[in-house]
Structure 1
């Protein structure tokens, strides 16, 4: 199939296309009409979605495009099931664009897989195999599965996943380009890997459950980010922790009223089995803290409250470390990925009180009540060391769109992988 050529123009479209038209068509392609100044990325994305509706597969950029303009087009064009090809402008940025595209497509494909295809074990395996393929001489992995989690003290992942016949998994991957076994660990990445979330006994509605294959978006995002950073020349030792489980109902599933005692001694009463992401992340954050990593970033499709707060175009950011949070948001601005800060204070740890344990895993009201995203972040802060210094939590409100939006195609977005990769490399 021939390529569909896309070019930019700072001239207005012909009057026949309508007043103030931002998009026109020529033989074999389309022209995006932009103002004279600025990258105009949002306008590019809106025009891209209109081109995408035509069913064109192979796109070729022609003329004078900035790398970020090409990237904005590609991210808005290549939705679930995309089988076409992108031909980038022949310039110094072409190689980096190809690298970004590879990482984005891996991340999106993983999130878009069906829950039957992607079990906790296969999620951990696919992530490990991809990272290993990028730097086989620098990568080692360890997977704890099923009962092995109990023996190692990782009770959160085990409890959430024990209702499924497909066992839960904690993947620990060590990328160590230094070759020194005692090298400092600069970063630890922690990802929520719930391959399907029924809500457990706090069962979701059919509508709410439909797209819960995307509830492992955190694991996909941190894996995609690490892979991208490696392809861009990462020299820092980085560990990856994926907390993988299916949250299902069975005669062996965890229940409301259960109490989990974590490895650090914190006891947690279960008041909502659908607040499971924070339960598995708690183990991952403790493992990351135990590793001695200087900085920890976790990512999770954690709360509907974050979506209510920032919409589905932004990811929400939480931290008790002002300097690290500012650095992270600077990376987000640099790579044009939308992230927004939401409140987190030490007292958010106390917002989910329990008369039977140190804390509950949520509040026993719909959606966790007011401030639910901050309260979830407060819960997580119990499981990182150094009073939260060196830790950033990402609630991935912008991770997935079932039917697409005016800016993004259907399925996973992979928003966040470039920001995290910039932090790793910077």
Structure 2
């Protein structure tokens, strides 16, 4: 007979730990479990760090007990879970607090599980199907319709970016077009569109990555997971307006049928793009998704992607990078991110960034032909994307998700997906669309 693991209680203790546990110890034993010793200042990070220590002790289930602010509980969850175990935290407080935290955990668990899957487990088609099933289950199937465009059908409908990037794999590229419409009116305007990069594995193509750079590239569909989970969270928190979800899914592999350096892609809007780096593929698939989002007439368009190493170099792995031509909207987005306690930093983007990757053969190249895209690589990638949005970029936000995944564990995070960005995008939807 299998024994049921005991649920250990975790308390907050404002007093320092007893001396025998070391000066400044964050965690010490309690008669019913453990206590976390909190000093004023950076409390949220201290709680998350303490949760990592407790996870490393091998605890599998814990009950938060006593007085716990909501943000501290969430920080504990983020620190305690790991890629092998995305559950095991029982929240405390009034029913509404527990409900909010449980809803958030539900959405983050979906995203983290999806990102942490192996490339073999998650094909482009399956990514689209799982996202559609999750939103349908969250909202109710009567509020959701969707279609998945895959393989040669992408060419027929003019979605050349996704097709070209994914044609080197035996597993067909796919685009999910999902319509969440709680109004019941098929003529209701689309209030917002979310676009996610869904590269289920990125070898770099013929611009092949080194082993150390390729090892974690199952995470390259983190943008798709993030916007899907953000939409689900917004739905659970009361989203009442029509929103489109568009996922651009492909495997970037090498084969006799893969796209090559020097190829030129002609997009649906007539823009021609020379391929000077097959590892700058995320922007190529997002260009299709952004055009479809604009076709919907949505006043708010948000895309999210693990797009550039340059963003990680600029802001580190604790922050996500934000780009926008709509400066007023970007300021509000940063405010929402701060309210949600998700570190986000705005990096430069101007119209002239569209011209930073010139080509003698096409309207633009997809990068500069140097490692990492050269100076300003993240801004240049955002400039490329801005070619494919309407209204001079008004109402458009681009998130480069530098903080979405950790290759190795650190003091605050287990290795794997973090979910950073989900709360921010859900908050933007609720404030900008539901207002």
Smaller-chain TM-score range? over 0.9
User: SS of the counterpart of 1:379?
Assistant: helix
Indicate the residue corresponding to 1:55 in structure 2: 58
Indicate the residue corresponding to 2:89 in structure 1: 86
How is 1:286-365 mapped onto 2 (pairs within 5 angstroms)?
286-365=291-370
| Corresponding residue pairs, total | 425
User: Matches of 1:278 and 1:132 in 2, distance apart?
Assistant: 28
Q: Is the 8 A contact 1:236 1:425 kept in 2?
A: no
Shift of residue 273, structure 1, vs aligned partner: 0.2
User: Matches of 1:26 and 1:90 in 2, distance apart?
Assistant: 20
How is 1:185-334 mapped onto 2 (pairs within 5 angstroms)?
185-334=190-339
Question: Alpha-carbon deviations, 1:302-346, whole Å to 9, x = none?
Answer: 000000000000000000001111111111111111111111011
Shift of residue 65, structure 1, vs aligned partner: 0.3
User: SS of the counterpart of 1:82?
Assistant: coil
Shift of residue 184, structure 1, vs aligned partner: 1.4
User: SS of the counterpart of 2:385?
Assistant: helix
Indicate the residue corresponding to 1:405 in structure 2: 410
User: Matches of 1:47 and 1:192 in 2, distance apart?
Assistant: 33
How is 1:349-388 mapped onto 2 (pairs within 5 angstroms)?
349-388=354-393
Shift of residue 402, structure 1, vs aligned partner: 2.1
In the TM superposition, structure 1's runs of 4+ consecutive aligned residues that sit over 6 Å from their partners are none
User: SS of the counterpart of 1:383?
Assistant: coil
Q: Does 1:126 align with 2:139?
A: no
Indicate the residue corresponding to 1:8 in structure 2: 12
User: SS of the counterpart of 1:353?
Assistant: coil
Q: Does 1:418 align with 2:423?
A: yes
How is 1:385-400 mapped onto 2 (pairs within 5 angstroms)?
385-400=390-405
User: Matches of 1:307 and 1:390 in 2, distance apart?
Assistant: 25
Q: Does 1:29 align with 2:36?
A: no
Indicate the residue corresponding to 2:100 in structure 1: 96
Question: Alpha-carbon deviations, 1:218-276, whole Å to 9, x = none?
Answer: 00000010111111121011000000000000000000000000001110000000000
User: Matches of 2:87 and 2:251 in 1, distance apart?
Assistant: 32
Q: Is the 8 A contact 1:7 1:30 kept in 2?
A: yes
User: Matches of 1:279 and 1:270 in 2, distance apart?
Assistant: 9
Q: Does 1:114 align with 2:118?
A: yes
Question: Alpha-carbon deviations, 1:264-313, whole Å to 9, x = none?
Answer: 11100000000000000000000001110010000000000000000000
Shift of residue 26, structure 1, vs aligned partner: 2.2
Shift of residue 83, structure 1, vs aligned partner: 5.7
Shift of residue 39, structure 1, vs aligned partner: 6.7
User: Matches of 1:46 and 1:86 in 2, distance apart?
Assistant: 15
Q: Does 1:155 align with 2:160?
A: yes
Moved more, 9-18 or 415-424: 9-18
5+ long unaligned stretches in structure 2: none
5+ long unaligned stretches in structure 1: none
Q: Is the 8 A contact 2:323 2:382 kept in 1?
A: yes
